[in-house]
Amino acid sequence: MKWICDSFRDDHETVPRHERAAGSLRVGSRASRELFRLAPLNQWTLVTTPYVLGETEKNLPKLPSAADSAWQALKPELVLRDDILTINQLAVFPVTKDRPVLFSALAWADVLLTFDRHDFLTLLGNEFYGLPVLKPGMFLERQRDAGALRNT
């Protein structure tokens, strides 16, 4: 299972084909902590891109100081993949700055996980060319309901 983290936030909700979901990462969230904790148990690979890393680093100074140390602890668990800036399909997605997140997730992931309700609102709970776009908690619930979630 793959996921690409599209941003790094420190509030109370968070953000991986055989590696499956992509999305936004909020350090203080139980869903985020669970995704990182459960990844090795469920053979999920956590994926990011240079664009996402750049956005994360740019936003860290806006967050509480604990966010930086949390980010430094999480960052080594991520696999770096190339940014995908264009696709060979029609893509109507109004938020230009988040197209690299969406296109990279389409290329590298089975699911885009995000808490970015503002920019991904129209896609949350839906799909983009077959790529589910979910909040991390929704993803974990689906895995649990399908009997596919290993806890230990």
pLDDT in tens, 2-45: 555 554 443 333 333 333 344 444 444 678 778 888 999 999 98
Domain locations in the chain?
A: 2-131+138-145
**Distance between CA atoms of residues 99 and 118, nearest Å:** 14
Locate 142 and state its tokens: 């689906």
Q: What is the pLDDT of residue 90?
A: 58
Flag whether pLDDT at 84 surpasses 90: no
In the prediction, which pLDDT does 29 show?
63
Q: Which tokens go with 53? A: 């890393």
138, 115 contact by CB (below 8 A): no
Q: Residue 73 is which amino acid?
A: A
* pLDDT score of 14: 35
Inform me whether the pLDDT recorded for 93 exceeds 80.
no
> Cα angle at 100 between 111 and 29, to 5 degrees?
50
**Whole-number percent of the chain with pLDDT over 90:** 11
Q: HEC string of 44-82? A: CEEEECHHHHHHHHHHHHHCCHHHHHHHHHHHHHEEECC
pTM: 0.73
Distance CA 9, CA 5 (A): 11
**C-alpha angle 41-133-81 in degrees, rounded to nearest 5:** 65
Mean pLDDT of the chain, nearest integer = 75
- Burial state string for 73-90 with b = 16 or more CB within 10 A and e = fewer than 16: ebeeebeebebbeeeeee
Task: Give the HSE-up count for residue 54: Cα atoms under 13 Å, Cβ half-sphere.
Answer: 9
Averaged pLDDT, 121-133: 77
SS3 at position 4 = strand
